[in-house]
């Protein structure tokens, strides 16, 4: 092969240089982008457009999905005060806002503390980090179940908190239900309203916030931890040498360096909090219901247009929220610096004045001593000229020392009291004990609730009369709850193995599709230049903040439309029909919502591969696709693995789409099934304790995830932090 | 400044024993260099003196105060790091002021110190720039300045010149030495580069595997290495070593019988075994194209003319190799023959088991010659 043809094959991107792309490369990049673009188009773009359109019609059960006329009556009904729906709308808006802001504050504070703890090296750090992942691995609806049915429920149901209160002799509290106390009332302005909307904030709202904080703090912790680990350790050493305390090291070294990363994480988290649904859906209390919840209710009632309007408004809220925060943080940073400087200056000068007084006294005393010495020598040496010589020398020394080290006139040594030395020796041990305590508290916080319900699920559902008092460990261990779960399909509509299998199939297929489309598009973004690349990148990135609500309703309608053109395949078996015609339709939106995170992580891993490696492959004669297959993929298996795990967990835990799409109990996924157990009052038809069976369901649904997370914790954490660092 | 003593200091990280009962004394205003290969424990030793790590057992004394469990803040040490550890979000002035502000010093005092230190180090024009905006050498000076303004008890250096290019390194070396003389500060300097150690130190402490091999001034460490490790570590190119057996009036290596002086024979015969290691530095071997008295034939394998001298690698007997550093130009090429001889006073003999120097034991009795 001649050199020219060999060089012609060398078409890859050289960083920093723009090259003329040959036809082959152009076609290749287009092929790479097609799968992901297809998914985005059909699962995101088209539904959004449809959703916006529907919101401007009078779409209802009576008038059909697209309604009869184009009108803004939906928005009018929601926004303008007076109508019943608007009363609820503004109430839910304020509740959602309150929920988001308060959750965010607690998650940030806790996340920061946990991250600072995990940033230090200690024995068992790996285990601590692993327990951190447990809350995040559970479906939110399962966590909500844990907190509602086992932790905050009334004392006669042996709720954990109330039982402890009872044991301590304190008054028990109703955390939810009609007796839940109102903590305070928010007064919110309503446009076109004559008075302020009164929004009662009850204790139940705090429970809902607790659920969200429990679920999300680990994620925030990992993000802050990733930012902290970029700070070079030497800076802390220099801080130690300079004499900074732990708090000072945080304030002057860590915090300024992690602020940008943390800020971005919080913005995304805030936008996520606005679309809260899973955490509150288990409560019947109106005081916790959110905008998404209202939309789903309207949808179930047949008010499609209203539901769509809410989703459009929610989208606008998210965009405005992000914009506002961005503006706020930028301005605040500038302002803070200026005011901070003045304050510091004033403070230093005040303290400085006092010190300088003492110093001048000291210096003058030392000078007196020196003069006395000179006087002494004056007595022994008679000669005036010699005296002058000595005086001039000593003065000279003074001056030169003064320029550099003003106080260095004596042999420098350490003066410290024995007491202080003792204090340092003791405080080392105290610090270690306190730290161990904090680590324990953190692990208990994360793993505690899960372990608690796992224990509680081993009670006998047939015979709860035996339990007369609150007990930490069940006296009689029984697997009957689990047996019921897997054998009884009359009360529950299906045996529990069905949702488990459905979950595995759905999540597994989603992982495959996401990896397929994700690897291709990540390859394009990481290694090629093409027009609109930046736009595509931002588009994919911003999709992270899209509320799924805006997609759910129109996607349902879109699926119905498409399936009316294509006759659904009949396998003769209703279960297989259900899977194929309903469960599989979820793959597209699941893939669409998981793609941004997948692309994020994969691009980070792909970019880490040194360009020299795949340049060498190209020179060896590999095509673009072969470079991907033979060089890039084998080297990024950890990243791919991590992505697969994260996507699997996210799909497994998804509730909103599952609730809207899957009606037949036989084709429901695990979170959907758990929700059904919570919402439908199955206890009426059962002659056993359905609460315990619910706990068993929750435990079973989370054990595989917890196991995956425990086994692969290192890979998950490194994947997330890698993505965060590069991103 | 202060006199620092490490007494029976041991340091373990988990099950790994990094420092093994070391003893060290650093005199007031002394420039002490800790040198050794990677992983020998020199940085750990420095950290223990600084207070960044605490001893597993033993004591650290500053003058007569037991500071073993005091944090760096109380020991008032200053440290310059290999990575400079400048706070990237603060400008140079703020970097230098940081510790003084923490100590709640008077603002005018701080400014005075910072400015005089900046003048001393010639970085006055950089005070308002951030570390990311200045060069490596300038960053190094800022790191120095940050230490000077604190008026510390001792200056600690952890391989500060490793990140600089060769030319800058030599320049900074000179500046650090000048600084120490001017400020009259005790300095402890850690490096893996023995050239740096030799050129800067008042005394060198050589560490290997967590214990001191030898502590002494550069001349002593060069001329009277206590054991084979020190002999091989100090000096570049490193000393040649030949395994040999003791004969009657000669030593036998590589089928070569090399007669040695009586003095040497009596000293090495005191060794427990009759196997020794002959050590001779490349710059001390003499080589000629023709046979002379007391020389033996070797084959040249590599001849490298470097300018000031020529490095000649030779081989004899069963592939025993060695190197000679010949001043000036040595006219020879590969496969030529040469005749080498060793001046008696430059020969070192090491016991083949303990690797101690049998001939030139140093004048002082130094502790810790174990491996």
* Contact status of B162 with chain A (Cβ, < 8 Å): no
Q: Which residues in chain A are contacts of B117 at CB distance < 8 A?
A: 404
Interface test with A, best of B64, B73, B119, B163 (most A CBs within 10 A): B73
Residue B60, token pair as written in the block:
């650290």
For residues B200 and B33, what is the distance between their CA atoms, to the nearest angstrom? 8
CB pairs under 8 A between A and B: 128
- What torsion, rounded to 10 degrees, do the Cα atoms A348, A349, A355, A361 define? 160
Mean pLDDT of A473-497: 80
For residues A483 and A479, what is the distance between their CA atoms, to the nearest angstrom? 6
User: What is the number of other CB atoms lying within 10 angstroms of the CB of residue B211?
Assistant: 20
Which residue among B62, B67, B98 sits closest to A242, beta carbon to beta carbon? B98
For residues A150 and A607, what is the distance between their CA atoms, to the nearest angstrom? 46
Would you call B109 and A238 a contact, using CB atoms and an 8 Å cutoff? no
Bond prior to A710 in cis (omega within 30° of 0): no
Sign of the CA dihedral running B216, B217, B219, B221? positive
| DSSP summary character for residue A628 | I
* Contact status of A512 with chain B (Cβ, < 8 Å): no
* Contact status of B179 with chain A (Cβ, < 8 Å): no
Q: Is the pLDDT of residue A322 over 80?
A: no
Would you call A416 and B99 a contact, using CB atoms and an 8 Å cutoff? no
* Contact status of B96 with chain A (Cβ, < 8 Å): no
Q: Which residues in chain B are contacts of A407 at CB distance < 8 A?
A: 151
Q: Which residues in chain B are contacts of A361 at CB distance < 8 A?
A: none
For residues B333 and B94, what is the distance between their CA atoms, to the nearest angstrom? 60
Mean confidence (pLDDT) of chain A:
79
- A569 CB contacts (<8 Å, ≥6 apart)? A577, A580, A581
Helix axes A304-380, A84-119, angle to 10 degrees: 40
Q: Are strands B31-35 and B186-191 parallel, antiparallel or unpaired?
A: parallel
Given this model, what pLDDT does residue B301 score? Answer: 92
Q: How close does chain A come to B215, measured CA to CA in Å?
A: 25
Residue A193, token pair as written in the block:
């309203």
Mean pLDDT of A53-60: 85
Beta carbons of A18 and A528 less than 8 angstroms apart: no
pLDDT per residue as tens digits for the range B94-114: 999 998 999 888 999 999 999
DSSP string, A79-91: HSBTBHHHHHHHH
| DSSP summary character for residue B61 | E
Would you call B87 and A238 a contact, using CB atoms and an 8 Å cutoff? yes
Q: Which residues in chain B are contacts of A355 at CB distance < 8 A?
A: 104-106, 109
| DSSP summary character for residue B39 | T
Beta carbons of A185 and A76 less than 8 angstroms apart: no
Would you call B99 and A241 a contact, using CB atoms and an 8 Å cutoff? yes
| DSSP summary character for residue B351 | E
Q: Is the pLDDT of residue A397 over 50?
A: no
Q: For residue B359, what are the CA distances in angstroms to B147, B214, B216, B261, B279?
A: 43, 15, 17, 12, 11
44-83 of B, contacting A, C-beta below 8 A: 50-52, 54, 62-63, 65-67, 69-79, 81-83
Residue B331, token pair as written in the block:
């006219």
Given this model, what pLDDT does residue B361 score? Answer: 67
Q: Which residue of B has its CA nearest to A123?
A: B14
Percent of chain A predicted with pLDDT > 90: 15
Q: What is the pTM of this model?
A: 0.79
Q: Smallest Cα–Cα separation from B321: which of B245, B261, B240?
A: B240
Would you call A352 and B109 a contact, using CB atoms and an 8 Å cutoff? yes
* Contact status of B178 with chain A (Cβ, < 8 Å): no
Interface test with B, best of A238, A351, A401, A418 (most B CBs within 10 A): A238
Q: Smallest Cα–Cα separation from B117: which of B95, B89, B88, B86?
A: B95
Q: Smallest Cα–Cα separation from A182: which of A192, A174, A194, A170?
A: A174
210-249 of A, contacting B, C-beta below 8 A: 232, 234-235, 237-244, 248
Mean pLDDT of A677-700: 78
Confidence of residue A368 (pLDDT cuts 50, 70, 90): low
Q: Which residue has the higher pLDDT, A223 or A567?
A: A223
Q: Which residue of B has its CA nearest to A258?
A: B89
Q: Which residues in chain B are contacts of A420 at CB distance < 8 A?
A: 74
**Edge-to-edge strand list for the sheet holding B154-158:** B77-80, B154-158, B186-191, B31-35, B203-208, B211-216
**Low-confidence residues in chain B, pLDDT < 70:** 1, 361-371
Interface test with A, best of B67, B71, B178, B186 (most A CBs within 10 A): B71
Which residue among B88, B104, B113 sits closest to A351, beta carbon to beta carbon? B104
Confidence of residue A595 (pLDDT cuts 50, 70, 90): very high
Residue A501, token pair as written in the block:
């299998």
Burial of residue A253 (CB within 10 Å: 0-12, 13-18, 19+) is buried
Would you call B109 and A406 a contact, using CB atoms and an 8 Å cutoff? yes
Q: Which residue has the higher pLDDT, A570 or B230?
A: B230
Would you call B83 and A416 a contact, using CB atoms and an 8 Å cutoff? no
User: What is the number of other CB atoms lying within 10 angstroms of the CB of residue A673?
Assistant: 26
Residue B34, token pair as written in the block:
């800790």
- What torsion, rounded to 10 degrees, do the Cα atoms A505, A511, A516, A519 define? -170
Q: How close does chain B come to A354, measured CA to CA in Å?
A: 8
Would you call B107 and A345 a contact, using CB atoms and an 8 Å cutoff? yes
* Contact status of A361 with chain B (Cβ, < 8 Å): no
For residues A595 and A541, what is the distance between their CA atoms, to the nearest angstrom? 9
**Edge-to-edge strand list for the sheet holding B65-66:** B16-26, B4-13, B57-62, B65-66
Beta carbons of A583 and A506 less than 8 angstroms apart: yes
Lowest mean pLDDT among A364-378, A556-570, B159-173, B231-245: A364-378
Which residue among A235, A257, A416 sits closest to B74, beta carbon to beta carbon? A416
Q: For residue A454, what are the CA distances in angstroms to A383, A674, B274?
A: 97, 15, 73
Q: Which residue of B has its CA nearest to A406?
A: B113
Which residue among A243, A349, A420 sits closest to B107, beta carbon to beta carbon? A349
Q: Is the pLDDT of residue A386 over 70?
A: no
| Phi (first) and psi of residue A405, to 5 degrees | -130, 90
pLDDT per residue as tens digits for the range B354-366: 778 877 765 544 3
Residue B51, token pair as written in the block:
């207070």
User: What is the number of other CB atoms lying within 10 angstroms of the CB of residue A626?
Assistant: 13
* Contact status of A368 with chain B (Cβ, < 8 Å): no
Beta bridge partners of B356: B227
For residues A306 and A55, what is the distance between their CA atoms, to the nearest angstrom? 7
**3-class DSSP state for residue A350?**
helix
Beta bridge partners of A715: none
Would you call A242 and B107 a contact, using CB atoms and an 8 Å cutoff? no
| DSSP summary character for residue A288 | G
Would you call A424 and B69 a contact, using CB atoms and an 8 Å cutoff? yes
Interface test with A, best of B81, B93, B146, B190 (most A CBs within 10 A): B81
Which residue among A232, A345, A349 sits closest to B83, beta carbon to beta carbon? A232
Q: How close does chain A come to B83, measured CA to CA in Å?
A: 7
Q: How close does chain A come to B73, measured CA to CA in Å?
A: 4
For residues B331 and B303, what is the distance between their CA atoms, to the nearest angstrom? 9
Would you call A238 and B76 a contact, using CB atoms and an 8 Å cutoff? no
ipTM of the modeled complex: 0.83
First to last CA, chain A: 42
pLDDT per residue as tens digits for the range A280-292: 888 888 888 898 9
Interface test with B, best of A232, A242, A353, A405 (most B CBs within 10 A): A242
Would you call A355 and B105 a contact, using CB atoms and an 8 Å cutoff? yes
Confidence of residue A436 (pLDDT cuts 50, 70, 90): very high
Confidence of residue A301 (pLDDT cuts 50, 70, 90): confident
Would you call A403 and B88 a contact, using CB atoms and an 8 Å cutoff? no
For residues A586 and A653, what is the distance between their CA atoms, to the nearest angstrom? 13
* Contact status of B116 with chain A (Cβ, < 8 Å): yes
Given this model, what pLDDT does residue A264 score? Answer: 79
Beta carbons of B137 and B164 less than 8 angstroms apart: yes
- A551 CB contacts (<8 Å, ≥6 apart)? A43, A44, A47, A48, A51, A589, A592
Given this model, what pLDDT does residue B128 score? Answer: 92
For residues A85 and B326, what is the distance between their CA atoms, to the nearest angstrom? 99
Would you call B2 and A349 a contact, using CB atoms and an 8 Å cutoff? no
Would you call B69 and A404 a contact, using CB atoms and an 8 Å cutoff? no
Would you call A356 and B109 a contact, using CB atoms and an 8 Å cutoff? yes
């Amino acid at each position: 092969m001649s050199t020219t043809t060999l060089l012609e094959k060398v078409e890859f991107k050289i960083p920093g240089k723009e090259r003329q792309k040959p036809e082959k490369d152009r076609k290749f990049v287009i092929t790479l982008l097609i799968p992901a673009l297809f998914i985005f188009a059909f699962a995101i773009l088209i539904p959004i457009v449809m959703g916006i359109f529907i919101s401007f019609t009078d779409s209802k059960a009576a008038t059909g999905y697209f309604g009869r006329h184009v009108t803004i009556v939906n928005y009018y009904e929601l926004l303008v005060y007076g109508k019943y729906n608007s009363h609820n709308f503004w109430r839910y808006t304020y509740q959602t806002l309150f929920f988001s802001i308060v959750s965010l504050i607690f998650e940030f504070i806790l996340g920061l503390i946990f991250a600072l703890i995990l940033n230090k090296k200690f024995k068992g750090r790996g285990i601590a980090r692993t327990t951190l992942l447990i809350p995040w691995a559970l479906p939110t609806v399962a966590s909500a179940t844990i907190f509602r049915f086992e932790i905050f429920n009334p004392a006669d149901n042996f709720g954990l908190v109330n039982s402890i209160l009872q044991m301590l002799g304190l008054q028990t509290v109703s955390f939810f239900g009609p007796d839940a106390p109102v903590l305070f009332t928010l007064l919110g302005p309503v446009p076109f309203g004559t008075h302020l909307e009164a929004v009662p904030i009850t204790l139940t709202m705090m429970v809902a916030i607790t659920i969200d904080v429990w679920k999300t703090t680990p994620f925030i912790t990992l993000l802050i931890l990733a930012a902290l680990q970029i700070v070079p350790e030497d800076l802390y050493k220099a801080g130690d040498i300079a004499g900074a305390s732990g708090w000072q090291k945080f304030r002057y070294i860590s915090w300024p360096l992690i602020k940008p990363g943390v800020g971005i994480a919080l913005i995304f988290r805030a936008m996520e909090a606005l679309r809260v649904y899973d955490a509150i859906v288990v409560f019947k209390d109106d005081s916790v219901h959110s905008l998404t919840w209202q939309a789903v209710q309207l949808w179930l009632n047949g008010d499609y247009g209203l539901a769509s309007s809410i989703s459009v408004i929610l989208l606008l809220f998210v965009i405005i929220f992000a914009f506002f925060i961005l503006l706020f943080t930028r301005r605040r940073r500038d302002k803070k610096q200026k005011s901070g400087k003045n304050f510091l200056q004033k403070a230093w000068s005040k303290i400085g004045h006092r010190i300088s007084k003492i110093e001048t006294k000291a210096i003058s005393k030392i000078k007196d001593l020196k003069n006395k010495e000179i006087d002494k020598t004056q007595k022994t040496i008679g000669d005036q000229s010699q005296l002058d010589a000595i005086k001039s020398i000593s003065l000279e020394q003074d001056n030169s020392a003064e320029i550099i080290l003003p106080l260095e006139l004596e042999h420098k040594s350490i003066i410290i009291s024995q007491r202080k030395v003792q204090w340092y020796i003791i405080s080392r041990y105290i610090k270690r004990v306190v730290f161990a305590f904090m680590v324990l508290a953190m692990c208990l916080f994360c793993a505690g609730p899960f372990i608690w319900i796992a224990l509680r699920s081993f009670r006998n559902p047939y015979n709860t009369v035996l339990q007369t008092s609150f007990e930490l460990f069940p006296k009689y261990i029984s697997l009957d709850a689990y047996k019921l779960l897997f054998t009884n399909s009359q009360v529950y509509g299906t045996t529990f193995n069905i949702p488990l299998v459905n979950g595995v199939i759905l999540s597994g297929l989603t992982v495959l599709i996401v990896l397929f489309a994700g690897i291709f598009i990540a390859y394009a973004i990481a290694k090629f230049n093409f027009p609109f690349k930046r736009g595509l990148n931002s588009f994919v990135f911003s999709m992270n903040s899209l509320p799924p609500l805006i997609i759910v309703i129109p996607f349902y309608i879109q699926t119905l439309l498409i399936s009316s053109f294509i006759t659904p395949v009949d396998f003769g078996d209703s279960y297989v029909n259900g899977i194929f015609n309903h469960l599989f339709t979820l793959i597209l939106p699941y893939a669409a919502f998981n793609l941004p995170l997948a692309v994020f992580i994969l691009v980070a891993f792909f970019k880490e591969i040194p360009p020299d490696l795949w340049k060498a492959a190209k020179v060896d004669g590999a095509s673009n696709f072969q470079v991907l297959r033979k060089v890039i993929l084998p080297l990024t298996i950890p990243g791919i693995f991590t992505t697969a795990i994260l996507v699997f967990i996210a799909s497994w835990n998804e509730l909103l789409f599952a609730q809207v799409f899957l009606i037949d109990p036989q084709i429901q996924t695990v979170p959907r099934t758990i929700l059904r157990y919570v919402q439908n009052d199955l206890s009426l038809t059962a002659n056993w304790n359905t609460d315990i069976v619910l706990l068993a369901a929750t435990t079973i649904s989370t054990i595989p995830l917890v196991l995956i997370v425990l086994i692969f914790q290192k890979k998950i954490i490194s994947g997330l932090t890698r993505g965060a660092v590069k991103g | 400044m202060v006199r620092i003593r490490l007494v029976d200091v041991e340091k373990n990280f988990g099950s790994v024993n990094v420092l093994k009962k070391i003893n060290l004394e650093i005199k007031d205003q002394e420039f002490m260099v800790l040198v050794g290969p990677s992983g020998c424990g020199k940085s750990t030793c420095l950290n223990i003196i600084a207070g960044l790590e605490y001893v597993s057992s033993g004591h650290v004394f500053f003058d007569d105060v037991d500071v073993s469990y005091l944090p760096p803040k109380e020991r008032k040490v200053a440290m310059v790091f290999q990575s400079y550890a400048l706070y990237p979000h603060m400008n140079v002035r703020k970097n230098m002021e940081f510790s003084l502000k923490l100590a709640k010093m008077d603002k005018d005092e701080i400014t005075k110190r910072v400015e005089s230190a900046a003048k001393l180090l010639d970085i006055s024009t950089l005070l308002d720039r951030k570390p990311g905006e200045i060069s490596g050498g300038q960053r190094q000076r800022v790191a120095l300045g940050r230490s000077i303004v604190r008026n510390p008890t001792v200056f600690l250096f952890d391989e500060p010149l490793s990140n600089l290019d060769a030319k800058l390194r030599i320049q900074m070396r000179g500046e650090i030495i000048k600084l120490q003389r001017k400020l009259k500060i005790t300095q402890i300097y850690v490096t893996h580069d023995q050239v740096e150690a030799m050129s800067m130190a008042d005394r060198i402490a050589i560490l290997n595997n967590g214990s001191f091999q030898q502590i002494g001034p550069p001349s002593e460490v060069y001329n009277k290495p206590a054991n084979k490790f020190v002999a091989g570590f100090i000096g570049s190119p490193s000393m040649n070593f030949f395994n040999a057996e003791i004969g009657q009036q000669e030593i036998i290596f590589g089928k070569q019988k090399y007669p040695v002086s009586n003095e040497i024979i009596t000293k090495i015969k005191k060794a427990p075994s009759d196997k020794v290691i002959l050590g001779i530095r490349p710059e001390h071997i003499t080589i000629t194209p023709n046979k002379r008295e007391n020389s033996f034939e070797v084959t040249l394998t590599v001849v490298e003319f470097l300018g000031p001298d020529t490095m000649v690698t030779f081989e004899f007997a069963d592939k025993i190799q060695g190197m000679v550093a010949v001043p000036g130009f040595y006219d020879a090429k590969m496969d030529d023959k040469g005749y080498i001889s060793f001046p008696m006073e430059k020969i070192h003999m090491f016991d083949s088991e303990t690797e101690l120097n049998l001939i030139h034991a140093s004048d002082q009795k130094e502790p810790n010659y174990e491996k």
